[in-house]
């Protein structure tokens, strides 16, 4: 399961603050020089009308108010000191206006999920996954990736997308921008991403984004949602990407569901159709071990439930008992043989 919302937000905020500090390190160095080094220059070189010197505290006080055009030390005939009085406000403008003000804006910009906030936050990410499209498919992909412990950045061009808002509430960075816009993938730190999942409902958009991502990061893994099965095959062969067709994925499941409602899942691997079924072991299986079930019927036992306890991938010498609930995976013909051995060759009729 994904980490709790509060914990994930805290981690994200700390990572974001670290990225901000790294991005504005020059600003903080200048501020340190302004309030740490410059007062020492006044301590060393400033002399009052009667020759009195100034301490570091009074010098720092003078530098601070000098930034706002209100010096606290009186005029002196020293050219270096007066030149410093002129330079300090200029340096202050560079530090405060360009640095501190921009830092403050970006620090609070996360509340509005601005583009700049996303760009800063993703700077601290490495080997993350970019999901393009926050529709139902993109939302589920994001949830699965987070459950697997991966960091995710989502790109969505619709500001009113309800699932994008739901992801933001869970602490996921969502960039509201067209993925084809120059700089959009860069703001998601595509150069250091491990994969990009193009899950919009537009084949052309998905292909464009995939090409852009591969151009910036040649080693990135590309997964494309494609509606045209023929196009998916060509993309796999010519582009080296994982192109998944919605119709290609759904067709085996729909066909098998029409033939046997006892099949929980099905998928195609090359020319082979695999099915997954969950059923209670009857008497004909009570003398077999898990290994014998595999060897005789080509059925791989994914889990065995006995007395309420679930045993994923039970050892091959585990003997099946009548009443055990088995989750098995097999080729379609082998699955039919197993059902016939149980005397359940024909699926039930009716609802």
Same domain assignment for residues 105 and 119: no
Same domain assignment for residues 38 and 147: no
Token digits of residue 69 = 């055009």
Which residues on adjacent β-strands are paired with residue 279?
326
- CATH number (domain holding residue 223): 3.40.50.720
**Residue 11 pLDDT class (50, 70, 90 cuts):** low
Kindly report, residue by residue over 161-199, the tens digit of the pLDDT: 888 888 888 878 888 889 888 889 998 999 999 999 999
User: Which of 55, 84, 109 is the C-terminal boundary of a domain?
Assistant: 109
Same domain assignment for residues 194 and 300: no
Residue 326 lies in a domain: yes
Question: In 10 A of CB 277, how many CB atoms?
Answer: 20
Same domain assignment for residues 50 and 79: yes
Token digits of residue 168 = 């933001």
What is the span of the domain harbouring residue 235?
115-245
Question: In 10 A of CB 259, how many CB atoms?
Answer: 13
Same domain assignment for residues 235 and 305: no
Residue 203 lies in a domain: yes
User: Which of 90, 109, 128 is the C-terminal boundary of a domain?
Assistant: 109
Structurally, how many domains does the chain consist of? Answer: 3
Residue 250 lies in a domain: no
Same domain assignment for residues 13 and 104: yes
- CATH number (domain holding residue 298): 3.30.70.1450
pLDDT, position 1: 41
Query: What are phi and psi for residue 266, nearest 5 degrees?
Result: -155, 150
Q: What is the pTM of this model?
A: 0.62
Same domain assignment for residues 83 and 145: no
């Amino acid at each position: 399961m994904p980490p709790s919302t509060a914990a994930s937000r805290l981690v994200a905020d700390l990572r974001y603050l670290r990225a901000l500090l790294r991005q504005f390190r020059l600003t903080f160095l200048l501020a340190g020089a302004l309030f740490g080094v410059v007062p020492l220059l006044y301590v060393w070189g400033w002399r009052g009308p009667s020759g009195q010197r100034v301490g570091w505290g009074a010098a720092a006080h003078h530098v601070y108010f000098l930034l706002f055009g209100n010096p606290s030390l009186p005029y002196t005939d020293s050219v270096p000191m007066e030149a410093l009085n002129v330079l300090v406000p200029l340096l202050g403008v560079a530090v405060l206006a360009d640095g501190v003000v921009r830092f403050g804006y970006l620090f609070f910009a996360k509340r509005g999920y601005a583009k700049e906030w996303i760009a800063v936050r993703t700077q601290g990410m490495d080997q993350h996954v970019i999901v393009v499209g926050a529709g139902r498919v993109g939302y589920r992909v994001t949830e699965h990736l987070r459950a697997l412990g991966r960091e995710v950045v989502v790109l969505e061009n619709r500001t009113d997308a309800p699932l994008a808002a739901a992801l933001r509430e869970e602490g996921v960075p969502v960039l509201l921008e067209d993925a084809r816009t120059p700089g959009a993938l860069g703001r998601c730190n595509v150069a250091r991403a491990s994969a990009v999942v193009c899950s919009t409902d537009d084949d052309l958009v998905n292909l464009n984004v995939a090409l852009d991502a591969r151009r910036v990061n040649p080693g990135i893994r590309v997964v494309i949602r494609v509606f045209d099965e023929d196009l998916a095959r060509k993309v796999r062969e010519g582009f080296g990407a994982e192109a998944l067709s919605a119709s290609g994925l759904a067709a085996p499941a729909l066909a098998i569901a029409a033939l046997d409602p006892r099949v929980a899942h099905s998928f195609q691997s090359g020319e082979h159709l695999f099915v997954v079924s969950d059923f209670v072991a009857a008497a004909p299986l009570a003398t077999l071990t898990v290994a014998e079930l595999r060897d005789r019927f080509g059925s791989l036992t994914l889990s065995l439930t006995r007395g309420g306890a679930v045993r994923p991938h039970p050892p091959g010498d585990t003997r099946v008992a009548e009443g055990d609930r088995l989750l098995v995976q097999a080729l379609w013909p082998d699955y039919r043989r197993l059902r016939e051995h149980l005397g359940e060759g024909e699926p039930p009729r009716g609802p």
